[in-house]
Chain A
Amino acid sequence: MSAVRISLEDVRHVAKLARLSLDEQEIETMRKQLDSILDYMASLEQLDLAAVEPTFYSVAMQAPLRTDVIQPSLRRDEALRAAPMEKAGAFAVPKVMDGEG
């Protein structure tokens, strides 16, 4: 019905970033669905919204601030209970190298 907004390449890229493994059929399905979402949103372009502030939050409130006080933490065995692998009081994962962040 309108111009293609999302390419197959876009879908592959986003899937890779999100660690999703999609086959060719799924990639095409996703492309169509994402495209139609953007099509739907495009209907907003018909309105003059120059004077309307963008909505970033679905609730109109401000972040409540906490006082800087220490609260009890979890017991370590409790914290590690659901870990797939645990060693020396830590979450163990397959070896990774350099840091991030």
Chain B
Amino acid sequence: MARTYEPVIGLEVHAQLLTRSKMFCGCSTEFGAPPNTHVCPVCLGLPGALPVPNGGAVEMAIRAALALGCTVRNRSRFARKNYFYPDLAKNYQISQYELPLNEHGRLEIEVDGVKRRVGIVRIHLEEDAAKNLHPVGAGGDTLVDFNRGGTPLMEIVSDPDMRSAAEAEEYLRKLREILMFAGVNDGNLEEGSFRCDANVSLRPTGQKQLGTRVELKNINSFRFVRKAIEYEVMRQQSVLDSGGIVEQETRAWNVEQSRSFTMRSKEEAMDYRYFPDPDLPELVVSDEMIARARAQLAELPAEKRARYRSALGLTEYDASVLTSHPAISSYFESCTNELLKACEKPLSPQQAGKRCANFIQSEVMRYLKTEGLGLQVPVTASRLAELIAIVEIGAISGKMAKEVFAQMAATGKAAKKVVEQKGLSQISDASVIDGEVERLIQAHPEQVEQYRSGNKKVLGFFVGQVMKATKGSANPKMVNEALRKYLEG
């Protein structure tokens, strides 16, 4: 019988900080600028240029650390990580080694009902390397763009606390969410502002000692993280099952072939010869600075979800959709607040929250998706609140609201304006509705008899007939009331 093994997984994440300028110089961090237009003597590594740390980056890293329960060091140290590669003009990267800025954090995850607390070993500051390009027309040369060089990064190192690819994926999703809500990272995997390396090893189930670990480099989507780790677990298992030994190495994931291949063996492993950077004195962070970062830390997604459920009565599902991105949750929150203020009919916070949650999750998100707008909602939260308020007082039906919303998004007009111009107002005139109901009752004596002898389902038939006659513009609530009055009265 084959032995069973337990996968042991630890993750290293490089997250780009949302600063305007680079880590050690004032060049812009803007993504997508023409090559080598955001460079200076410092980030080009020219002789004599000296680095000066970006206070904003330090503050953001502290904020992230506090969100992840880390201890912030008052005194930490920058170090040089030495290696030769064209993306690194100085032949060393400024990073932190001994005495990193933040240590000893944790992140709680839950997969299939099983909760796990993943330890965070450290969160340190470093600078990004430049970007190597291999364009076809370059005659086989590699082109180096230093715009990215020197961009502030946090390296977030977890303990080897995860036991499956699913847990690793969940950890990354949670981490990304927290960093986005802490306002320190844009969570953009495609542009490389959130990158992940995974360390994977297997050990016989029940054994304490860890097996030989393999490092998987630069996996750039959640789906690939899962696939790459699952692949690696299977690969190591088949090596062990056939009596082999797992070699310590670095492997890279190949998306096209859905398999990994060796990048570097143990013998080729890097020897970075870290040492304190003599160009940079000790990084000293005062308690006031830590307190300031703590004060700036916004409500985190887990807290938001709890509040949406308890204070606004949303379901777990709704709460999680609305906290999938800080832009969505802030849109939802302002819409709810505006609705509470703007609606002529007094609403409870739960009612307002539910109305906004429903509309945003259906109409708004569908519109963003079909129009390919990402998270750029073309209708402001207060204008959406006005629309929902109009539905609430019965001026238009919920069905009409969808059409009005699409118009508002396309034209930039306010809800009332669209309703007026399209003549969409709902029929809320009792005399019109009563007249229609009366006419129907006379035309369908059989159904009236059925209703009166106890078949209440027939009500639906009448509602449908009124709607048909009024082309869907009758106020449904009033139609229901009128029908009951005539049928039961």
Contact = CB atoms under 8 A, between A and B. Distances in A.
B239 interface: no
Nearest to B30: A70
A66 B54 contact: yes
Interface string A56-93: 11110111111111111110100110000101111111
Interface stretch (B79-87, B403-411, B425-433): B79-87
B87 A101 contact: yes
A66 B271 CA distance: 32
Contact of B143 (A17, A74, A76, A91): A91
B22 to A, nearest CB: 9
Contacts of A89: 34-37
Interface string B387-399: 0000000000000
B142 A94 contact: yes
Contacts of B283: 62-63
A73 B276 contact: no
Contact of A68 (B21, B83, B135, B139): B21
Contacts of A80: 36
B264 to A, nearest CB: 9
A70 B21 CA distance: 5
B240 to A, nearest CB: 27
Chain B, interface residues (CB within 8 Å), range: 35 or more
B58 A71 contact: no
A24 interface: no
A66 B53 contact: yes
B458 interface: no
Chain A, interface residues (CB within 8 Å), range: 35 or more
A28 to B, nearest CB: 22
Given A80-B36, A91-B36, A69 B26 contact: yes
A58 B263 contact: no
Contacts of B138: 87-88, 92
A70 to B, nearest CB: 5
Interface in B39-94: 39-41, 44, 52-58, 77-78, 82-88, 93
B19 interface: yes
A58 B278 contact: yes
A72 B137 CA distance: 31
B20 A69 contact: yes
Contacts of A70: 20-21, 26-28
A79 B36 contact: yes
A71 B87 contact: no
B296 to A, nearest CB: 14
A74 B26 CA distance: 11
B82 A17 contact: yes
A91 B82 contact: no
Contacts of B57: 68
- Residue of B26, B28, B128 ringed by the most chain A CB atoms within 10 A: B26
B85 A87 contact: no
B371 interface: no
A6 to B, nearest CB: 15
B227 interface: no
A88 B143 contact: yes
Interface string B141-177: 1111110000000000000000000000000000000
B28 A65 contact: no
A41 interface: no
B284 interface: yes
Contact of A73 (B39, B86, B137, B217): B39
Please name the 6 residue pairs, one residue from A and one from B, whose CB atoms are nearest each other, closest first.
A71-B26, A68-B56, A65-B55, A90-B143, A62-B284, A91-B144
Given A62-B284, A72-B26, 17 more contacts: A61-B281, A63-B283, A64-B53, A66-B52, A67-B56, A70-B21, A70-B26, A71-B21, A73-B27, A73-B37, A73-B39, A74-B39, A74-B41, A76-B36, A76-B39, A93-B141, A100-B88
17 contacts: A57-B282, A58-B278, A64-B52, A65-B52, A66-B21, A66-B53, A68-B19, A69-B21, A73-B37, A73-B39, A74-B39, A90-B143, A93-B86, A95-B134, A99-B217, A100-B88, A101-B129
Interface of A: 13, 17, 19, 56-59, 61-74, 76, 79-80, 85, 87-96, 98-101
